[in-house]
């Protein structure tokens, strides 16, 4: 038990060290936002008490749940870099209007909408050592700095395109999930068909009306005829 406590202590201490290094590196590497573009900066640990991300000082040991934020603001524009315990992800986001949630984007979404390479600014996950953390921050810094005008000018057409691309990705994800669900529904429908429970076959498959294959539709037709014949 004592060994487990020691190991847990080491994990929390390591997480705290990485979090502090994240804050320090971001404050240094993204300082061009302050000196060259007039942003203000604040950083720290989000205490999860408010939606507005109230930031506090990072303790010597972090618990299992944490989110560190380095925030740059200028008028309505807000750029945030974050690092947290959830998959140990470093990522960046931008708000063009904090009052409108749809105007919040991943930094990569802006470059994607502009047709530019966005891998470097996308950040990374499972960051568990200093070297990986630094390489990720440097790559994000370079990408943001090289494309800074895209981010700070808030082009309405670019924002509209970013929203459209996000909606397209969402629809694609929904369709892929629906197709996955349909595969499982087909297995259930086949079992019900073998058991002669034709009404349930129809109920199971009809939920997927817009993505049913011709074979699925044929099975529904057969089930309907079976029900009719049983009357």
φ, ψ for residue 56, nearest 5 deg: -130, 170
Domains of the chain, by residue range, sit at 2-154, 170-230
Residue 171 has pLDDT above 60, yes or no: yes
Residues 37, 43, 48, 50, Cα dihedral to 10°: -50
pLDDT at 2 over 50: no
Q: Which residue has the higher pLDDT, 19 or 58?
A: 19
Average pLDDT over residues 148-165: 90
What is the structure's pLDDT at 5? 46
Count the alpha carbons within 13 Å of 51 in the hemisphere toward its beta carbon.
Answer: 3
pLDDT digits 0-9 by tens, 13-31: 788 889 999 999 999 999 9
Q: Which helix (H) or strand (E) holds 150?
A: helix 148-152
pLDDT category at 99 given cuts 50, 70, 90 is low
Q: Rounded CA gap, 11 and 64, in Å?
A: 9
Q: What is the mean pLDDT of residues 196-221?
A: 88
In this prediction, residue 230 has a pLDDT band, given cuts at 50, 70 and 90, of confident
Averaged pLDDT for residues 107-124: 95
In whole angstroms, what is the distance from residue 170 CA to residue 159 CA?
17
Cβ of 43: how many Cβ atoms within 10 Å? 19
Q: Which of 53-57, 132-136, 142-146, 200-204 is predicted with the least confidence, judged by mean pLDDT? A: 53-57
* Contacts (Cβ under 8 Å, ≥6 apart) of 69: 43, 44, 45, 46, 53, 55, 80, 81, 82
């Amino acid at each position: 038990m004592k060994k487990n406590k020691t190991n847990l202590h080491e994990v929390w201490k390591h997480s705290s060290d990485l979090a502090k290094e994240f804050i320090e590196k971001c404050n240094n590497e993204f300082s061009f936002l302050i000196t060259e573009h007039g942003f203000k900066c604040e950083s720290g640990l989000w205490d999860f008490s408010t939606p507005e991300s109230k930031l506090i000082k990072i303790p010597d040991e972090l618990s299992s749940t944490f989110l560190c934020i380095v925030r740059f603001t200028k008028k309505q524009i807000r750029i945030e870099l974050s690092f947290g315990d959830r998959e140990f992800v470093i990522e960046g986001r931008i708000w063009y209007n904090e009052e409108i949630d749809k105007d919040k984007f991943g930094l990569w979404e802006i470059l994607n909408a502009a047709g530019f390479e966005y891998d470097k600014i996308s950040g990374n996950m499972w960051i568990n050592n200093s070297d990986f953390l630094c390489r990720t921050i440097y790559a994000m810094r370079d990408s943001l700095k090289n494309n800074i005008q895209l981010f700070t000018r808030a082009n309405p057409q670019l924002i509209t395109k970013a929203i459209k691309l996000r909606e397209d990705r969402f629809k694609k994800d929904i369709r892929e999930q629906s197709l996955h669900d349909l595969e499982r529904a087909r297995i259930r429908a086949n079992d019900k068909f073998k058991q002669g429970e034709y009404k349930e076959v129809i109920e199971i498959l009809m939920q997927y009306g817009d993505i049913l294959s011709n074979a699925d539709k044929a099975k529904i037709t057969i089930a309907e005829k079976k029900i009719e014949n049983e009357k």
